[in-house]
Structure 1
């Protein structure tokens, strides 16, 4: 099922591979201002998988020079929200229901987030008028390890008619 956002993404994905991350990031950051402020970069987006990155730069650092906890949370929320939002019909709205972040250890360098949906989850979004689900996300740092565990629960409901 295509929505406005997925149509734009699919069009970008048909273009040159070298331009995709730039264009995907531009589109997303034009709509999500806080992601633009934090310089979240979209590396790849499909209806079932997303890869995002946040660089360990001064604007997102904490007092010990690592990526700030809230910037890491933004990365997780953005990754899950994008892959989830790719599948929610235009007649509905995606809503973050809950998030749980468990910090395991100090983050090293840049962070990369991978969020995915299964075919069963996509079918559920397409066929049910409303519902909710956990959207898995994995965040790794430059060491290749997962410094945090993130659990994001998303819901979809019909848009209100005013």
Structure 2
């Protein structure tokens, strides 16, 4: 299934590969302004998987020098939201319904998020409305998962 967002992503992929991350990031941050304030970087967008990164910069740090809890939540929401948006029909409106985050330990260095949707989840998007859980794996520079996240994304038909 293609939608307006996925068609723009496909056009970017026809450009030289070294431009993809920068252009994906600009595209996303032009629509989600708050993501731009935290300087999220969209590393890659595929139909079923998205990879984002958040550098451990001073502007997103907490009082102990790690990435702030809410900045990590933004990373998780953004990754799941992009993969969801890649597959949602244009006739539908996406809505974040719930966000579940369990902080396991202190985050060390930069964070990388990978959000994935299954073929079965994508098939559900043909319905007029519904909700699905999208898991996202966030690793820090140690290679470990300092937080466990799951986002429930819902959709409804846009009003005509």
Count of residue pairs the alignment pairs up: 160
**Aligned counterparts of 1:10 and 1:116: Cα–Cα separation in 2:** 18
The runs of at least 4 consecutive aligned structure 1 residues that moved more than 4 Å come to none
TM-score computed with the length of structure 1 as normaliser: 0.97
Superposed CA deviations along residues 1-40 of structure 1, whole A, max 9, x for unmatched, are 2111111111112221111000000110111111000000
Structure 1 gaps, min length 5: none
Q: Secondary structure at the match of 1:19?
A: helix
What is the aligned partner in structure 2 of residue 133 from structure 1?
Answer: 132
What is the aligned partner in structure 1 of residue 46 from structure 2?
Answer: 46
Shift of 1:134: 0.4
**Aligned counterparts of 1:101 and 1:41: Cα–Cα separation in 2:** 21
TM-score computed with the length of structure 2 as normaliser: 0.98
RMSD: 0.7
